A and B are shown apart, each in its own frame.
Chain A
Amino acid sequence: MELILLLFIFVLSGFLGFELIAKVPSQLHTPLMSGSNAISGITVVGAILAVNTSSDNLSVWLGFAAIVLATVNVVGGYMVTDRMLGMFKKKK
């Protein structure tokens, strides 16, 4: 049952994603890409859960490496997007 539920969520989010982004003006393509790139760093949640004291050594270190990489993705992605969008100005 849980599997079906997860697939259900997956399918609906897919449609939602398409609806949300279908009509984005081209000048926002880069920020949209780097901003959504930052969101893909959500995998950091999975990485954190892997670093569990009851786990064996190898999986803890795999998880640790994943935390570092995903955090770079998250922090860097959001900051660089913010920097970019800060430069998009209207005519004074």
Chain B
Amino acid sequence: METLVNLSYIAAAILFVFGIKMLGHADTARKGNQISSIGMALAIIVTLLFQGLDYKLVFGGIAVGSVIGFVAAKRVQMTGMPELVALFNGFGGLASLLVGWAEYQRASATISNGVLGKIADAVNADLATVNTFTAGVIVLAILIGGITFTGSLYAWGKLSGKLGGRALTFGGQKAFNALLALGIIAAGVIFTLAPTAELAYPMLIVVIVLALLLGIFAVMPIGGGDMPVVISLLNSCSGLAACAAGFVIANNVLIVAGCLVGASGLILTIIMCKAMNRTLVNVLFSGFGATAQASGSASTGEMKPVSVEDAYYILEAAKNVIVIPGYGMAVAQAQHAVKELGEVLEANDCEVRFAIHPVAGRMPGHMNVLLAEADVPYEQLVEMDDVNPTIEMVDVAIVIGANDVVNPAAADDPASPIYGMPIINAHKAKTTFCLKRGKGAGFSGLENALFTAENTRMIYGDAKATVTGLVAQFKDS
């Protein structure tokens, strides 16, 4: 029986590997996801073969979880995707924390009952005497799982606007976080060295509480614009938490699957950091965007507004247009209107492309998902590096709710905090329209020289209303 279970776990691991591989190619992505879900189903089903499970609770738990997951996945709007991913992520982290805790609770209850070694543990009978290694990985599972849980919840709060998107800092924040970390290490070490001592259980509770606190305080000083990095990193952590839980119960499939997720999340994190030309350390600890920036040259010149009608005349004559979307497009839910604008422009014999910056929006690939929802074919989506070399040939660049990713200060102002970040060179297009709600600065609080550039025209107002207005102009003519 145990051989059958382990062979099935190997099969599940293979399905995960193929699933992830296929997820990486546009043509096979959907199938890849299905294959990995089959692997998951297989792993769960064979786990049910273990003796002595309390089936009422097992099936009850699976049923409740499935209903919640099903409803959430069906009801979520595509603009709410970053929040939902953060929330799911947090649940996974908490689950790993609980697995680690339950495993210790089981072992310690057995020890205190004096039936040492008699527990019917199908996985690893050695657990009755919690050894140092097991104790260490229990701490890791709880620590990583706890940080993932509250960190993701806090990120969810920020993304959904419940906690405000800005970075929050207070005096001594770094010292406070360092203290939390030290407390975790101290309690963790005491627990690990003597996991059967009387002091061990209280120490474990300390680790749980401090890890939960650290998750909150670690995400607090990170601003909305840096969310793609945070989300990817938390994703990686939820995988590593599962991996640590796998070490706790000595289960291969948890280790393999958790580690795959950990690696993929880490790669995404690195890609996101590179796209902002910042290090992970800088993103996590700088409190970027907490205060209005004093450094960096204040932009000179006026913003030149233009009416929707005048914008229409310019667009009507354009032969080559790129659209640069940002988080503002998601907020305004303008993706369907934008897709319509693309269609009327194409009907007007104009080439339309959507230029997408890697960190536009609040999670990796956020803009791609929104535009896909609006039925924009993905051949029309181009990456930053493909559009920049030919941007001088573009007649009109339409910036919709993007700010930092088109800020020329990143290219030419060494005093700017975002200096060195690769941007889409919208300022080099022949004409640039910036759709913006008002005159305020963006999430990072930076002035944007693009808005006052010679060839830039501002179109104020709700992005969706503006784009719909442009489409109406095309249709009336």
The interface of chain A, by Cβ under 8 A from chain B, is: 2-3, 6, 9-10, 13-18, 20-56, 58-60, 62-92
Contact = CB atoms under 8 A, between A and B. Distances in A.
Contacts of B327: none
Given A26-B364, A60-B57, A72-B88, A38 B20 contact: no
A20 B98 contact: no
Contacts of A62: 98-99, 101-102, 105
A6 B34 CA distance: 27
Which of B81, B92, B268 has the largest count of A CB atoms less than 10 A from its CB?
A: B92
Nearest to B375: A89
Q: Identify whether the interface residues of A are mostly helix, strand, loop, or mixed.
A: helix
A81 B22 CA distance: 13
B441 interface: no
Nearest to B85: A34
B23 interface: yes
B250 A74 contact: no
A52 B53 contact: yes
A16 B257 CA distance: 11
Contacts of A46: 96, 99, 103, 242, 245-246, 248-249, 251, 254
B99 A84 contact: no
A79 to B, nearest CB: 4
B120 interface: yes
A26 B235 contact: no
B363 interface: yes
B276 interface: no
Interface stretch (B64-72, B287-295, B468-476): B64-72
A67 B380 CA distance: 42
A41 B123 CA distance: 19
Interface stretch (B36-44, B177-185, B317-325): B36-44
Contact of A45 (B19, B133, B253): B253
Given A30-B368, A39-B36, A17 B64 contact: no
B123 to A, nearest CB: 6
B73 A83 contact: yes
A84 B33 CA distance: 11
B88 A67 contact: no
A68 B65 contact: yes
Contacts of A31: 23, 29, 33, 365, 369
B263 A23 contact: no
Contact of A33 (B64, B66, B364): B364
Contacts of A67: 57-58, 61-62, 65, 95
B259 interface: yes
Interface string B366-399: 1011001101011111010000000000000000
A80 B347 CA distance: 33
A29 to B, nearest CB: 3
Contacts of A41: 40, 92, 95, 242
Contacts of A43: 92, 95-96, 99, 241-242, 245-246, 254, 258
A56 B33 contact: no
Contact of B19 (A35, A72, A89): A35
B53 A51 contact: yes
Given A37-B89, A56-B109, A59-B103, A81 B33 contact: yes
Interface string B239-271: 101110111111111111111111111111001
B175 interface: no
Contacts of A44: 44, 62, 95
Given A28-B26, A79-B70, A80-B81, A39 B99 contact: no
A68 B16 CA distance: 22
A18 B365 CA distance: 19
Given A45-B43, A66-B99, A52 B52 contact: yes
Nearest to A15: B263
B40 A33 contact: no
B105 A58 contact: yes
A35 B369 CA distance: 14
B84 interface: yes
Which of B21, B257, B377 has the largest count of A CB atoms less than 10 A from its CB?
A: B257
Contact of B70 (A48, A49, A75): A75
A63 to B, nearest CB: 5
B30 interface: yes
Interface in B1-53: 16-17, 19-21, 23-26, 29-30, 32-34, 36-37, 40, 43-44, 47-48, 50, 52-53
A12 B292 CA distance: 46
A23 B20 CA distance: 12
A59 B254 CA distance: 19
Contacts of A42: 40, 43, 242, 253-254, 257-258
Closest 9 CB pairs of A and B: A71-B65, A17-B263, A29-B365, A67-B61, A76-B69, A75-B69, A29-B364, A79-B73, A91-B377
Contacts of B383: 25-26
B261 A75 contact: no
A88 B381 CA distance: 11
A54 B263 contact: no
B76 interface: yes
